[in-house]
Structure 1
Amino acid sequence: MGRRRTPELYRAPFPLYALRVDPSAGLLIAAGGGGAAKTGIKNGVHFLQLEQINGRLSASLLHSHDTETRATMNLALAGNILAAGQDAHCQLLRFQIHQQKGKNKAEKAGSKEQGPRQRKGAAPAEKKSGAETHQEGVEFSVENLHEVQTDFSRDPLQKVVCFNHDNTLLATGGTDGCVRVWKVWFGEVEDECQ
């Protein structure tokens, strides 16, 4: 008998390097990419909605955030603030989820009126901004807050990142072998602690 294939929850269009779960929002955050090389593999952070459907775990893409030429190699989560290790830098991102309200009465009434039939056009071209909302009724936004260089070696690369218990400090480590601790204030990394 052949090996049993494990079911896939989600398949990203790029190599994955970091995963984080936000249990309060029911999100799985997946990040990675092809890096700076022009291989055609995009770099991004995907925000996935986790839910149980008929007793099975399901993940649907809510939002795709394009990180341009930088692949996110590590992540830390503090509420709705995400610290993303990209090359020699730590990028702070704020994400927000807004449930859109249902159609108002005028829109609902207008939908019953007879009029010219609306045809479906061609599928829209892929958005280049990476700011795509994928689930109906949900508005998702990602904002770049602040960026700081965290590794200063000849071939710099941030390898790890984490927040402390009250999310006021951010620890980073990289290929230069140094652990650095940064003060975090309203989504900005102010300075390195001594």
Structure 2
Amino acid sequence: MEKVNLAIIYYSAYGTNYQLAKWAEEGGKAAGVEVRVLKVEETLPEAVVNRDAGMKANADATKDIPIAGHDDLEWADAIIFSMPTRFGVMSTQMKNYIDRQGGLWAEGKLMNKVVSAMTSAQNTHGGQEATLHSFYVAMMHWGAIIAVPGFTDQSIFAAGGNPYGTSVTQGQDGKIVEDAEKVKAAIAHQVKRTVEIASWIKKGKQ
């Protein structure tokens, strides 16, 4: 397999999508690729974050995670995005990051990036699939190669059966409701599939 650079770019208010990103990092390392875990900038005022104990705890715990930049997208052959669902679409913070990539898009530097996405919501039917669908529309505008997990491995069925990307439910206690090992296995397969396709694309460019 061609050597692949994998960027895992996430937004997480309370830590759920940070956890998904960390599991994706494990999957990337297991697949033998170069990995960067990056967060997008918080758009909420610091005073708002500091008033919410859960958000403040997550901000403190992830303060050393680098902010995703334009150069990270140029570097990456494959990108795994992870974000919470907000009324059935991606979070404002992730949308803000995507919207600021117009320069790279205009230069043709986002085409043929291999992308896949994960998401979370606070209830089982909270818009996870709609969020992934709408996110992939933006990726179509990039000219990216969308690599969904599909039903290509038993782990997808075991983790809840979302063929568009791994999705989880965050309980009232802030923890992921689904079995962690099953989710990790589904993410590992999603990452492996994404970087494998990126490897094919990269080899074809040579």
TM-score by length of 1: 0.26
Higher helix share: 2
Larger radius of gyration: 1
TM-score by length of 2: 0.25
Higher strand share: 1
